[in-house]
Each structure stands twice: as C-alpha cells, then as structure tokens.
C-alpha cells in the first residue's frame, strides 16, 4: 500500500465545495469527482483527504490531497492520467509518493489564502466567478491599518460563522498583505490555521472599514468579546483562493 500526495488547482465555481455531500446537491463536489477519476485509474475504491475543505464557489491554486492505493499504477503516471480523466476546471499540478506518517492536515505548518477583488466601475465579464466585483473606491490605507490589528495570536471566534465544528478559536496570523495591481486588489492572509469562513469575514470586515461602517476599535473589541455583530459581512466565496500550504520538514 502506497500513500500518494497530489497537488491540485481548481476553479470551484461548478462544485458544491470540496467535501462529499449527503443532502442530494445538484452540483458534484470536488472530492467526489477526484475519487471517481482515481477509481477508474486505480481500479479500486479510493478515499482522498485534502489539507482543508473549501466551500462552494471557492478556488484553489495549490490544494494538497493524499490517498492510499494498492494499485500498480506508477507514481509518475498519476499526473498525466488524471488530467486526462478530470474535467478542465480541475488540474493535477504534481503527484509523488510520501512517507506513511505524512498527513495533509496534521503536518501542515501554515496556510496562505488569497482574496481577489476587481475594483473598477465596470464589471469584467471574463472574471465572472473568479473574484469579487466591487465598484466603490477602496481606502487601502484604512484597510491595511485594520488588517495589522489581526496579525498575531488571537481568539478569532468573532471571525467564525455559526455551524463550525471548532472547539478552540485561537489561531495565529503570521502575515496580512493588501496590494493593488491595476484594477485588482489582493488580500493575502497567512496563518497556522483558519476557522469556518474566517478569511471571508476578515475581507468583509476590511471592506466595511473602507466604507466607514466598521471602526478599528470595533475590530479590537470583537477580538476581546467574540461579538460577530461588531464586524462586517461575510465576503462572497468567488474571490477566495487557497494559495498554498506549507509543511513541516
């Protein structure tokens, strides 16, 4: 039995998130589509484990996924064979064999998410489903000042949506960067782990800061009190990308 690590890029627009659903969703999930392709290739039942479960409409630039197989398929064949079986909005970047003690979740050292905002008066139809369209002028300096308040180790329960299975809410954000290239604004968040909808709530709050609806003092209070109502709305999913996952050596 071998353990194989895949690195995937995908456009999540056409999927009901990563995890297989039991509620009869009309859209497939990414896990479901990948497992079906692997079962065709390996001729056995396959169960995959990703580094994290992206929600419906969320994308990934580099999502690590592991699985075990007893098949004789050469490791160097997985990438090409799977890319021939998978739809065009899922792409295998790499495939390699890893040690038995490696785990995509347990061995993760840090994750980086990127949120993309198209900040222009006119919608770019070619970016539909791949970013947030936002026509109002952004106060990037105010957003950066607010983002700096979140760097470090905090109780982020105010930045977690209801329905989360988390039992602890303390997370560490190592880095937050906000940059603008042309009409695109990028919010990049790097941390040791993230709560349910945490990045989207952060982005929604930064947008509310730009609009003057949320003050920096409210963010500080939310970190202390855990009061979700002090913050901005949850930003839509289509602008969010899992950018990369770093692992301990």
Q: Is residue 112 within 8 Å of residue 189, measured between CB atoms?
A: yes
Which residue has tokens 């990563």?
A: 18
Measuring CA to CA, which residue among 160, 145, 147, 152 is closest to residue 226?
160
Can you state the angle between helices 216-225 and 140-148, rounded to 10 degrees? 30
Q: Is 11 a catalytic residue?
A: no
d(CA 167, CA 164): 9
Helix, strand or coil for residue 45? Answer: coil
Of 11, 55, 76, 99, the catalytic one is 55
Structure tokens at 24: 């009869």
State the burial class of residue 74 (Cβ atoms within 10 Å of its Cβ: 0-12, 13-18, 19+).
exposed
Residues 233 and 206: their CA atoms lie apart, in Å, by 10
Catalytic residues: 55
């Amino acid at each position: 039995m071998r353990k194989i690590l895949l690195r995937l890029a995908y456009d999540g627009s056409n999927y009901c998130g990563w995890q297989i659903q039991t509620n009869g969703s009309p859209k497939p999930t990414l896990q479901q589509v990948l497992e079906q392709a692997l079962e065709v290739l390996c001729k056995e039942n396959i169960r995959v484990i990703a580094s994290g479960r992206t929600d419906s409409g969320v994308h990934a630039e580099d999502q690590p996924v592991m699985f075990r197989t007893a098949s004789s398929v050469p490791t160097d064949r997985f990438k090409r064979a799977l890319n021939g079986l998978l739809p065009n909005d899922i792409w295998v970047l790499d495939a390699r064999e890893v040690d038995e003690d490696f785990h995509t979740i347990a061995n993760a050292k840090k994750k980086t998410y990127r949120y993309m905002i198209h900040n222009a008066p006119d919608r770019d139809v070619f970016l539909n489903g791949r970013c947030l369209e936002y026509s109002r002028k952004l106060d990037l300096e105010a957003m950066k000042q607010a983002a700096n308040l979140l760097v470090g180790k905090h109780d982020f329960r105010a930045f977690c949506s209801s329905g989360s299975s988390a039992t602890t809410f303390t997370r560490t954000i190592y880095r937050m960067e906000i940059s603008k290239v042309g009409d695109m604004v990028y919010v990049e968040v790097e941390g040791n782990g993230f709560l349910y909808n945490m990045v989207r709530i952060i982005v929604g709050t930064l947008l509310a800061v730009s609009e003057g609806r949320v003050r920096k003092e409210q963010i500080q209070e939310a970190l202390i009190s855990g009061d979700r109502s002090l913050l901005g709305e949850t930003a839509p999913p289509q602008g969010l990308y899992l950018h990369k996952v770093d692992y301990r050596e």
